[in-house]
Amino acid sequence: MKEESNNLEAYRRRANCLECGCKIYGREDKKFCSATCKNMHNNRLRSAMREQRNAAQMALQRNHDILSALANSGQNGGKLDTLCSLGFDPDVVSGIRHAGVRVWEYSCYNITYRLNGRRLYKIEIHSGT
Domain assignment of residue 81, yes or no: yes
DSSP annotation of 34: S
| pTM exceeding the 0.85 threshold for the entire prediction | no
Average pLDDT (25-36) is 90
What's the pLDDT score for residue 103?
87
For residue 12, pLDDT beyond 80? no
pLDDT at residue 62 above 90?
yes
Assess whether 59 and 1 both reside in one domain. no
* pLDDT of 4: 56
Q: Which one, of 123, 111, 112, 110, lies nearest residue 79 by Cα?
A: 123
Say if 40 falls within a structural domain: no
- Residue 15 CA: distances (Å) to CA of 20, 36, 99: 12, 17, 55
Contact 31, 14 (CB under 8 A): no
Residues 8 and 4: their CA atoms lie apart, in Å, by 6
**Domain coverage including residue 5:** 1-33
pLDDT of residue 9 exceeding 80, the answer is no
Same domain (yes/no): 6, 60: no
